[in-house]
Chains A and B, each alone.
Chain A
């Protein structure tokens, strides 16, 4: 019992510190450097502590200090309660969804069964979707409670876009569920121990659609019509300043990580190296004794998983700085008239193939 408790607390602390402590500040820096790279610039590199600049890694800290000490503004006529809680609503789901994403296999460590996932729910995927849809409340409430036309339009656009793309995303997932026969993300991960069982080979169309819809769901360019600077000032968070405004960004960044993790788990072999199963890892590390082998295997699992996640983060950043923004009607047309039929056909073909096998 105590061991279980310790295991859970360690896992929660680990994921929390990786997400809040590492990814969310570092992604601000990555985004700036990536944009600088794409535009042939140097990017932020001047913030120094005692003369050390560390290629600009202090800039996120400077930004954090600045936004924390910036005036917190609530516009006249705004709904104070909803205006205040909206950023929290949009930040929380991005953190919570990580609870059901496995970042490693299951091992025996000191006679205790370790499962590298915080909550091994048997409806893992549904949990992810439930919380992903909660995130749209954040944008809608932010837009509505600000008492500002631009915010309101941004909130409307955000809700329409998120709802439409969630439909397609859900239909994509059905293909994955049919192939693997389970909703439990840790099982989906475990089934991809064999390289040719990776989701990308079984559901290639599903991967492309899911990845695109996930970016659209996150409202990042090329799908950032909800904050479209050229049309809506700053979209649904026009009236937010200081830390609350940055919370929307943190939510966005953490969602990038979550999307990377989901794509890795469902389509890119989760924590597995190609052609290397967990059992093979344990055999490699046999020299370290059973506990040592398990610990080393856990470390390899975690490094593999987060390397893949970081790759997908990089991919999303590159897409964001490469493509121009779609027009609003184009976004809607893409979602309903192209992705939805393709997703349905994908399900049909998946079904036929499974029956034929």
Chain B
């Protein structure tokens, strides 16, 4: 990534740096707009904290004074899914809880991202039993997996930065169109 930037002489935040096929395929204005759009989105995650279990403690710590997720522009919690961009799934999701999670995900307005926080959300963790969903990616699409039981705040911040990079690299063609990919009656 850095190499590409250097070769093009572009700037990581404001430049319309793109790979060659895109440059040939799309117009320059399109690329620029995409970059500005992604730049705005990556620094403005309003999160929906879906906190169900012990990882919540670590979530509080990462939002608190010492680690401060707000530095990355991602600390404003909106408890209405319509206004949230980042679904933070923090903790164990049981099968009873699953329909609620899917409903909240479907209620969120596009663009939206999902953050699997802790090994329970990632894969079910050590709850290898009939009551726990074995990873939330069996229910909804997940963008970032942060394992750990619970993950250290540094890992969460690392995950958030990775998500920002992912947002920065997304294209118009990746933006979702049409009906929601997940149905409520899963």
A binding-site residues for B, Cβ under 8 Å? 32, 36, 39-51, 58-59, 61-67, 69-73, 229, 233-234, 237-242, 245
Contacts and interface: CB of A to CB of B under 8 A. Distances in A.
A275 to B, nearest CB: 43
Interface of B: 11, 13-14, 36-37, 39-44, 64-65, 68, 70-73, 75-76, 78-80, 82-83, 85, 109-111
11 contacts: A41-B70, A42-B68, A43-B70, A44-B72, A44-B73, A46-B71, A50-B13, A63-B40, A65-B41, A69-B40, A237-B80
A240 B82 CA distance: 6
B83 A240 contact: yes
B177 to A, nearest CB: 11
B109 A47 contact: no
A85 to B, nearest CB: 18
B183 to A, nearest CB: 16
Contacts of A51: 11, 13
Nearest to A228: B79
A39 B63 CA distance: 11
A65 B82 contact: no
B157 to A, nearest CB: 11
Contact of B79 (A67, A70, A234): A234
Nearest to B44: A66
A238 B73 contact: no
Nearest to B41: A66
A43 B71 contact: yes
A229 B79 contact: yes
B80 A239 contact: yes
A70 B109 contact: yes
A62 B36 CA distance: 9
Contacts of A58: 43
A237 B67 CA distance: 31
The CB with the most chain A CB atoms within 10 A, among B65, B70, B78, B109, is that of: B70
Contacts of A41: 64-65, 68, 70-71
A83 to B, nearest CB: 12
A45 B75 CA distance: 12
A48 B42 CA distance: 11
Contacts of A40: 65
B181 to A, nearest CB: 14
A239 B81 CA distance: 9
Contact of A70 (B11, B13, B75, B111): B111
A73 B64 CA distance: 32
Contact of A241 (B36, B64, B109): B109
B82 A48 contact: no
A63 B44 contact: yes
Contacts of A46: 43, 71-73
Contact of B65 (A39, A63, A238): A39
A36 B71 CA distance: 10
A238 B14 contact: no
Contacts of A48: 13
A21 to B, nearest CB: 18
Nearest to A246: B83
A222 to B, nearest CB: 18
A42 to B, nearest CB: 5
B71 A73 contact: no
Nearest to B37: A69
Contacts of B68: 36, 41-43
Contacts of B36: 65
Contacts of A69: 37, 40-41, 111
A66 B14 contact: no
B82 A245 contact: yes
A338 to B, nearest CB: 31
A240 B70 CA distance: 23
